[in-house]
A and B are shown apart, each in its own frame.
Chain A
Amino acid sequence: MPHLTVLEGEDRFYFKLAFCSFFLIILMVASLHFGAEIYTPYEVWNAFWELETEASIIIQTLRVPRMVLAPVTGMALALSGLLLQTVSGNPLASPAFLGVNSGAAFFVLLAFSFFGFTSLWFLSLIAFAGALTAISLVFLLAFSFGASFQQSTLLLAGITLSSFLSSAITILLATNETTLEALLFWLSGSFANRDMSGLIIVVPVLFFSIIVTLIMKSSLDSLLMDDESAKALGLSIFKLRLFFIFLSALLASLAVVLAGPVAFIGLVAPHIAKNYAGLSHLRNIPFCLLFGAHLTLMADIATRILLSPSEAPLSAVLAFIGVPFLVFLLLSKKRGVVG
């Protein structure tokens, strides 16, 4: 790992951090202005102090929740993706590709069609159970082909499981027409008409995960080395891996609760962060979080403008950003990128 020890100057790091945070604020403000109706800054400012006008209702009840939900979701997914990439040693690992999204979605759908919507806590728990089940199956399956283990096997296992689950979802939807109408849009991911109350669960968990990963930064760094050298440092690789897989499944499943299954943020954001800030986790975790938030906010704004006045599915918009990026990543001849 070439960049691991090359640290840039502290000043440069803080400058970049400040710049990216500033950009996040700009995007959040912009997200209040753009949509089916485009408002001027003056109108937006007024909308906060008025009641009952059209602008104030749209901005206060529709746009403010999205402005908060999008970055939180993006951060959770980006961190989840970064952890998975480090743990699996596979630069293409991401929650969506390892079956986390479809696992959570499938379980939520099952719970929804059998018990109805009970409570947010219940759904979050179910989503987490689904995510954890799916990702454990994927890792088990990939490692069960031990002798011929290729990097792409993990990916294949994930995608195969995802496609199983998504056809199961299709079947559930096809047999249950009332939920089809309600959940078809949820399943393509969106921040429209979402409940802010999910944040009560997600924000503390996200905060806790960020603290934990920052504390354990050196263990994460050591996972980037080959197993032998990590063992020499006296680390239990297996337990570490298990813990971080658990954490990333938790983060990704909470993102599913907030926004539905959303792909590509967990793949793209960590890569940009690694290119921007290097491979040391202390350095790239903050940027990873910020880029995740940027991407999600931009995509959310795009969903509102693209098909205005109706809304484009978030996952489709993200795929249009993510796929070219993925192709570029695959084509790049750099060492260490999926051989």
Chain B
Amino acid sequence: MKRSFFRNNSILLGLVFLLAVVSLISLQLGSSFISFERMINILVGQGTKSDILIVTKLRLPRIILAINTGIALAVSGLLLQIVIKNPLASPSLFGVVDGAALGAIIFLVLFSSETGNLVFPVEWQPVAAFLGSLLAIFVVFWLTILDGRGLSRLILYGICFSALATALISLLMIIGPIHRASQAFLWLTGSVHAANWQKVVISSSALIITAPIMMLLSSSMKQLMLDEESAQATGLTVKTSLVLMVILATFLTAIAVSFAGAVGFVGLLAPHIARFFTPSHGLILLFITALTGALLVLGADFLGRIAFQPLQIPAGAITAFIGAPYFLFMLRFKNVFHRR
């Protein structure tokens, strides 16, 4: 007991440290390099105007948004894998991501004027995406309740909704003007390049509001991993917890994809990597998963920004490239999920 406590905490500390280091480096590097001295200058209020602009207006919100996106997607993936009791569950399977994509693309196509300008300011795009994901959640839940054969059916109806949404998206992309299609394409891969403080504030507050609920739920994770009868025997109101978890997970995904687009595979990968680090359940697993997710998205965004300059690769493309080898890796170490 003592040893695992020590081990978990050192992993947690290590991850926090790593996250801080990566954040700092990605604050410095980019199309222009900002040295430590100049950073300190900015901190004490003596930086040059362009330095201040680059750091506070461009890079800092981008970094924080990447971290928020990662946390939201990773936690959402963890919750869903527990609810569905299937290690392959991930937020993108529940229709929420494609619902958000549909909302965003309807916004881009329908509110473009003849000349190709947007009728509404582009700041409204996340709202459209969020509405789209809410629609997805509503439809998928409604069908699952109609079905009445348990929460594991969510995934099947999620797949249905995704298929329909994808069809509509491809139709809209052909109808709309071509530059809108390429804009939509970028959104579909997922990127945090359009970050600003407004988005940071909204996504951060969403995370802060849901944090206590997540922590409360995390204590019951271990029991929920058992079958329902044993879980009930330990005095847990299983159904309420499960439903709460799904709602929370879909809400978090909706927030994440509304701002950052369809960044894929974080919700699938992060919980697996976290389980690789720790045998524990509950709060510690939740924290490690969240940190792993944050590192994944931040690292992907950083790599995409730096590695192929002057080309900027969207973060979603990088996470997909990390995801594919991991998928094969899962074949070899198939017991990662069931070992404990």
> Are A and B subunits of one complex?
yes
Residues 157 to 215 of chain A near chain B (Cβ within 8 Å): 157, 159-161, 163-164, 167-168, 170-171, 174, 188
B189 touches A170 (CB 8 A): yes
Q: Are B170 and A316 in contact (CB under 8 A)?
A: yes
B189 in contact with A331 (CB, 8 Å):
no
Binds B, one of A48-56, A232-240, A321-329: A321-329
Which of A137, A310, A323 lies at the interface centre, i.e. has the most chain B CB atoms within 10 A of its CB?
A: A323
Q: How far is the CA of A140 from the CA of B174 in the complex (A)?
A: 37
Which stretch of A107-115, A121-129, A146-154, A276-284 is in the interface? A146-154
B87 with A145: CB separation less than 8 A: yes
The binding surface of chain B is classed by DSSP as helix
Q: Which residues of B contact A293 (CB under 8 A)?
A: none
CB-CB < 8 A to B155: which residues of A? 152, 156
On whether the beta carbons of B163 and A156 are closer than 8 Å, the reply is no
Q: Which of A269-321 contact B (CB under 8 A)?
A: 307, 310, 312-313, 315-320
Q: B67 an interface residue at 8 Å Cβ cutoff?
A: no
* B86 pairs with A153, CB closer than 8 A: yes
Interface: B2 (CB within 8 A): no
**Is residue B286 within 8 Å, beta carbon to beta carbon, of the partner chain?**
no
Min C-beta distance of B190 to chain A, whole Å: 9
Within the complex, which residue of B147, B170, B268, B330 is in contact with A188, where a contact is CB–CB below 8 Å?
B170
Q: Does A330 contact B (CB under 8 A)?
A: yes
Among A147, A157, A327, residue most surrounded by chain B Cβ atoms (within 10 Å): A327
Is the CB–CB distance between B188 and A156 below 8 Å?
Answer: no
User: Which A residue's beta carbon lies closest to that of B88?
Assistant: A156
Tell me the bound Cα distance from A157 to B185 in angstroms. Answer: 25
- Distance (whole angstroms) from the CB of A224 to the closest CB of chain B: 22
B127 within 8 A of A: no
- Asked if residues B88 and A174 are in contact (CB atoms below 8 Å), the reply is no
B209 at the interface (CB under 8 A from A): no
* Docked pose: A322 CA to B167 CA in angstroms: 11
Q: A167-B316, A170-B317, A338-B156 are in contact. Are A152 and B185 (CB under 8 A)?
A: no
B233 at the interface (CB under 8 A from A): no
A153 to B331, CA, bound (A): 14
Give the interface size bracket for A toward B: 35 or more
Question: Which residues from A are CB-within-8-Å of B175?
Answer: 307
Residue contact A156 to B86, C-beta cutoff 8 Å:
yes
Q: Is B275 an interface residue (CB 8 A)?
A: no
Give the size of the chain B interface in residues (CB under 8 angstroms).
48
B90 an interface residue at 8 Å Cβ cutoff? yes
Contacts A152-B86, A313-B171, A313-B174 given; indicate if A168 touches B320 (C-beta within 8 A).
yes
Closest partner residue, chain A, to B323 (CB atom) = A164
Question: What 0/1 pattern do residues 327 to 340 of B give for CB contact below 8 A with A?
Answer: 11011001001100
Chain A residues within an 8 Å CB radius of B86: 148, 150, 152-153, 156
Query: When A163-B264, A307-B174 are in contact, do A316 and B168 touch as well, CB less than 8 Å?
Result: yes
Q: How far is the CA of A120 from the CA of B312 in the complex (A)?
A: 35
Residues of A with C-beta under 8 A to B168:
316
Chain B residues with CB under 8 Å of A159's CB are 93, 159
CA gap between A317 and B264 in the complex, in Å: 26
Pairwise interchain contact B320-A171, C-beta atoms closer than 8 A: yes
User: In chain A, what residue has the closest Cβ to B265?
Assistant: A164
Of residues 92 through 137 on chain A, the ones whose CB sits less than 8 Å from some CB of chain B are: 92, 97, 137
Q: Do residues B170 and A313 form an inter-chain contact, with CB atoms below 8 A?
A: yes
The answer to whether B268 and A331 touch across the interface, beta carbons within 8 angstroms, is no
CA distance A245 to B54 in the complex (A): 55
B188 proximity list for chain A (CB < 8 A):
170
Residues of A within 8 A of B85 (CB): 148
Given A161-B327, A167-B320: A322 and B163 interface contact (C-beta under 8 Å): yes
Nearest B residue to A170, CB-CB: B189
Q: Tell yes or no: A40 within 8 A of B by CB.
A: no
Flag if B324 contacts A168 (CB, 8 Å): yes
Find chain B residues with CB under 8 A from A144 CB.
330-331, 334
**Which residues of chain B (82-134) have a CB below 8 Å from chain A?**
85-90, 92-93
Given A148-B338, A160-B88 in contact, is the A327-B157 Cβ separation under 8 Å?
yes
Judge whether B338 and A171 touch: CB under 8 Å.
no
Asked whether B143 is an interface residue with its Cβ less than 8 Å from the other chain, the reply is yes
- A306 nearest in chain B by CB position: B171
Contacts of B328 in A (CB 8 A): 137
Check A164 against B160 for contact (C-beta < 8 Å): no
Most buried by A among B88, B168, B265: B88
Q: Is the CB of A157 within 8 A of B156?
A: no
Is A78 close to B, CB under 8 A? no
Check B174 against A92 for contact (C-beta < 8 Å): no
* Given A171-B317, A174-B189, A307-B175, also A156-B166 (CB < 8 A): no
Is the pair B163, A263 in contact by a Cβ cutoff of 8 Å?
yes
A174 engages B334 (CB within 8 Å):
no
- A171, B186: Cα distance in complex, Å: 10
Q: Which residues of A contact B156 (CB under 8 A)?
A: 92, 152, 155, 330, 338
> A44 an interface residue at 8 Å Cβ cutoff?
no
Cα separation A163 to B189 with both chains bound (whole Å): 11
- Nearest Cβ in chain B — how far from A272, in angstroms? 18
- Output the least CB separation between B105 and chain A (Å): 13
Q: A164-B327, A313-B170 known; A323 and B90 CB under 8 Å?
A: no
Q: Are B331 and A137 in contact (CB under 8 A)?
A: yes
Q: Which residues of B contact A152 (CB under 8 A)?
A: 86, 152, 155-156
6 further interface pairs, Cβ-Cβ under 8 Å (given A316-B168, A316-B170, A330-B147): A137-B327, A167-B317, A170-B185, A264-B163, A315-B167, A315-B170
Interface pairs (21), CB distance under 8 Å: A144-B330, A144-B334, A145-B338, A152-B156, A155-B156, A156-B93, A160-B88, A160-B327, A167-B189, A167-B320, A171-B320, A174-B185, A174-B317, A312-B171, A313-B167, A313-B170, A316-B170, A320-B164, A323-B160, A326-B163, A338-B156
